[in-house]
Structure 1
Amino acid sequence: MPAETPAPASLDLTADPVAITRAICDIPSESGEERVLADLIEQALAGASHLEVVRDGDAIVARTNLGRARRVVIAGHIDTVPINGNVPTRFETDPDGTEYLWGRGTVDMKAGVAVQLKLALELAEPIVDLTWMWYDHEEVSAALNGLGRLAANRPDLFEGDFAILGEPSNGQVEGGCNGTLRAEVRATGLRAHSARSWVGENAIHKLSPALAKLAAYEAETVEVDGLAYREGLNAVIVRGGIAGNVIPDEAVLEVNYRFAPSKSAAEAAEFVTSFFDGYEVTVVDSADGARPGLDDPLAQEFVRAVGAEPRPKYGWTDVARFSALGVPAVNFGPGDPLKAHADDERVAVHQIVDGERALRAWLTGAA
Structure 2
Amino acid sequence: MPAETPTSLDLSADSVALTRAICDVPSVSGDETTLADLVESALGGASHLEIIRDGDTVVARTNLGRDRRVVIAGHLDTVPINANLPTRFETVDGVDYLWGRGTVDMKAGVAVQLKLAAELTEPIVDLTWMWYDHEEVAAGLNGLGRLAGNRPDLFEGDFAILGEPSNGQVEGGCNGTLRAEVRAAGLRAHSARSWVGENAIHKLAPALTRLVEYEAETVDVDGLAYREGLNAVVVRGGVAGNVIPDEAVLDVNYRFAPSRSLAEASEFVREFFDGFEVTVVDGAEGARPGLDAPLAQQFVRAVGAEARPKYGWTDVARFSALGVPAVNFGPGDPLKAHADDERVALDQIRSTEHALRAWLTGAAH
TM over 0.5: yes
Q: How does 1:180-195 map to 2 (within 5 A)?
A: 180-195=177-192
1:7 paired residue number: 5
2:298 — aligned with what?
301
1:214 aligns with 2:211: yes
Deviations 1:6-59 (A, max 9, x none): 222211101110010000001111111111111111111111111000000010
Match of 1:320 in 2: 317
Q: Any residues of structure 2 matched to 1:21-100 within 5 Å, and which?
A: 21-95=19-93, 97-100=94-97
- Residue among 342, 348, 352 paired with 1:351: 348
The yes-or-no answer on 1:146 pairing with 2:104 is: no
The answer as to 2:246 corresponding to 1:249 is: yes
Query: Does structure 1 residue 240 correspond to structure 2 residue 237?
Result: yes
Cα deviations by residue, 1:62-117 (Å, 9 ceiling, x for unpaired): 0000000000000000111111111111111123x210010110000000000000
Tell me which of 111, 118, 127 is aligned to 1:114: 111
Q: Provide Cα deviations, 1:327-353, integer angstroms capped at 9, x if missing partner.
A: 000000000000001111000000000
Q: What residue identity is the alignment partner of 1:291?
A: R
Pair 1:258 & 2:244 matched: no
Counterpart pick for 2:201 among 201, 204, 214: 204
Following superposition, the deviation at residue 199 of structure 1 comes to 1.1
In structure 2, what residue type is equivalent to 1:54? I
Quick one: which of 122, 126, 129 aligns to 1:129? 126
Taking the aligned partners of 2:2 and 2:61, their CA distance within structure 1 comes to 33
The match for 1:175 is 172
Matched residues in 2 for 1:347 and 1:128: separation?
29
SS of the aligned residue for 1:271 comes to helix
Are 1:329 and 2:329 counterparts?
no
2: CA distance, partners of 1:186 / 1:85: 35
Equivalent-residue separation in structure 2 for 1:253 and 1:49 (angstroms): 53
The counterpart of 1:165, out of the listed 162, 167, 171, is 162
How far apart are residue 4 of structure 1 and its match?
Answer: 1.9
Residue 366 of structure 1 aligns to a residue in which SS?
A: coil
- 1:282 is the counterpart of 2:268: no
Q: Give the distance between the partners of 1:88 and 1:197, measured in 2 at CA.
A: 51
User: What's the secondary structure of 1:113's corresponding residue?
Assistant: helix
Report SS of the residue matched to 2:52: strand
Which whole-Å CA distance do the structure 1 matches of 2:292 and 2:85 have between them? 41
SS in 2 for 1:116: helix
Amino acid in the other structure paired with 1:13: L
CA distance in structure 2 between the aligned counterparts of 1:89 and 1:191, rounded to whole angstroms: 50
Equivalent position amino acid for 1:28 in 2? P
**TM-score calculated relative to the size of structure 2:** 0.99
Distance of 2:227 and 2:277 partners within structure 1: 27
Counterparts of 1:197 and 1:83 in 2: how far apart (Å)? Answer: 42
* 2:193 partner SS: helix
Name the structure 2 match of 1:226.
223
- Overall identity of the aligned pairs, in %: 83
> Which runs of 5 or more residues in structure 1 are unaligned?
none
Amino acid across the alignment from 2:234:
I
Partners of 2:167 and 2:146 lie apart in 1 by: 28
State how many pairs are aligned. 364
Secondary structure at the aligned position of 1:9 is classed as: coil
- Secondary structure class of the residue paired with 2:292: coil
Distance 1:275 1:248 in 2: 24
Alignment partners' CA distance in 2, 1:199 and 1:132: 63
**Runs of 4+, deviation exceeding 4 Å:** none
